[in-house]
Amino acid sequence: MGWHYRKSIEIGPFRLNLSRHGVGHSFGNRRFHVTSTPDGRRHVTLRLPGGFHLSKTVGKPRRRYYY
């Protein structure tokens, strides 16, 4: 069984996301936002009226090396 941790801190339109994997951040509002994950991926999301939304992942995750 694994353990999880997640904490979000909102500062205006910015959000800082803390988890056991690292620190991510996001920027935007209800209709459009950009999220950067701790491993380097970026997600762009656009929400349209009527319950539709478009989401696109941009970039590849950075490799993590464990020694």
62: which strand partners?
none
> 19 CB contacts (<8 Å, ≥6 apart)?
4, 5, 6, 7, 38
Mean pLDDT of all residues belonging to the chain = 86
Residue 14 dihedral angles phi and psi, to the nearest 5°: -95, 150
Tens of pLDDT, residues 10-60: 998 899 999 888 999 999 988 999 999 888 889 999 999 998 999 999 877
The pLDDT of residue 62 is 65
User: Does the pLDDT of residue 61 top 60, yes or no?
Assistant: yes
Q: Is the pLDDT of residue 63 over 70?
A: no
